[in-house]
């Protein structure tokens, strides 16, 4: 039985991890130097990352080479956990804690926020979803569950267009209003993510209900 919440968490968790790795690479390439402040740019002066204002991040590590290395390390751990161990007990808490570490060591701002959201969703994988069951009728469960593949697909497109799509589009073609475009893409990506998670809960709830009905009939 496909678990929509697990698919959502693993997919967008992977995107968060890859974005964190990209931040770390930019910081490593700056070399063995100290940052000017706690807030940094992962790719300062890069034409490729102009549309993202050099990829802002923060770090509590007083060395960009070390910070970038740690950002890549913890992003890789996040990636492996989101894909391979997300159904384990307390996996959601692990993802949230890893996201906080990513934030503190130069993994950017967007990737850790995305990681925290999917980490919170991961706490509901294989959960009984009691609140949702109490507030959604069977018809509502089926209707919202059918919407999950559409919201999931639209969300995936939005995130891929935000990263790396917007970067490549601006670099090769140029974007007239980059700030407005990034704001719209960010709003769409996070909004669709929340809708994907909510409809994913409905999908999983309906799967649980169908499994229980099948078991009752066979028993």
Q: What pLDDT is stored for residue 84 in this prediction?
A: 95
Examine the pLDDT at 137 and tell me if it is beyond 90: no
Please tell me whether the overall predicted TM-score, pTM, comes out greater than 0.85 for this model: yes
The DSSP secondary structure of 76-141, one letter per residue, reads HHHHHHHHHSTTSTTHHHHHHHHHHHHHHBT--SHHHHHHHHHHHHHTTTT---HHHHHHS-HHHH
Angle at 16 between CA 65 and CA 178, to 5 degrees: 85
Determine contact, residues 80/114, Cβ cutoff 8 Å: no
Weakest-pLDDT range from 30-44, 104-118, 134-148, 155-169:
134-148
* Domain carrying residue 124: 4-218
Examine the pLDDT at 219 and tell me if it is beyond 60: no
Determine contact, residues 24/69, Cβ cutoff 8 Å: yes
152 CB-near residues (< 8 Å, 6+ apart): 4, 7, 8, 11, 196, 199, 200
Coil, helix or strand at residue 153: helix
Examine the pLDDT at 212 and tell me if it is beyond 70: no
Q: Which residue in this structure is represented by tokens 């073609």?
A: 173
**Residue 97 neighbours by CB distance under 10 Å:** 16
Cis peptide preceding 164, ω within 30 of 0: yes
pLDDT band at 60; cut points 50, 70, 90: very high
**Residue 64 neighbours by CB distance under 10 Å:** 24
Q: What pLDDT is stored for residue 218 in this prediction?
A: 61
Tokens of 6: 């697990």
Mean pLDDT value of segment 127-144: 80
Gap between the Cα atoms of 25 and 182, Å rounded:
22
Tally of domains in the chain: 1
Q: What pLDDT is stored for residue 1 in this prediction?
A: 46
The rounded mean pLDDT for the chain is: 91
Q: What pLDDT is stored for residue 213 in this prediction?
A: 59
157 CB-near residues (< 8 Å, 6+ apart): none
pLDDT digits (tens, 9 = 90+) for 145-186: 999 999 999 999 999 999 899 998 988 888 888 889 999 999
Examine the pLDDT at 215 and tell me if it is beyond 60: no
Gap between the Cα atoms of 102 and 96, Å rounded:
10
Q: What pLDDT is stored for residue 117 in this prediction?
A: 98
């Amino acid at each position: 039985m496909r678990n929509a919440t697990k698919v959502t968490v693993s997919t967008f968790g992977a995107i968060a991890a890859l974005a964190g790795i990209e931040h770390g690479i930019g910081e490593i390439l700056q070399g063995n130097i100290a940052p000017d402040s706690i807030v940094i740019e992962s790719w300062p002066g890069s034409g490729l990352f102009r549309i993202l204002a050099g990829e802002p991040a923060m770090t509590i590590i007083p060395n960009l080479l070390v910070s970038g290395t740690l950002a890549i390390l913890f992003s890789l751990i996040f990636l492996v956990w989101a894909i391979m161990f997300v159904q384990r007990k307390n996996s959601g808490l692990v993802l949230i804690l890893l996201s906080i570490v990513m934030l503190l060591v130069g993994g950017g701002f967007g990737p850790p926020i995305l990681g925290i959201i999917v980490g919170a969703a991961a706490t509901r994988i294989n959960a009984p979803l009691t609140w949702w069951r109490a507030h959604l009728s069977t018809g509502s469960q089926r209707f919202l569950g059918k919407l999950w593949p559409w919201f999931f697909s639209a969300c995936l497109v939005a995130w891929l267009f935000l990263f790396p799509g917007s970067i490549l589009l601006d670099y090769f073609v140029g974007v007239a209003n980059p700030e407005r475009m990034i704001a719209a893409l960010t709003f769409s990506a996070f909004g669709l993510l929340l809708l994907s998670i909510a409809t994913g809960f409905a999908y999983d709830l309906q799967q649980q209900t169908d499994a229980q009905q099948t078991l009752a009939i066979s028993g």
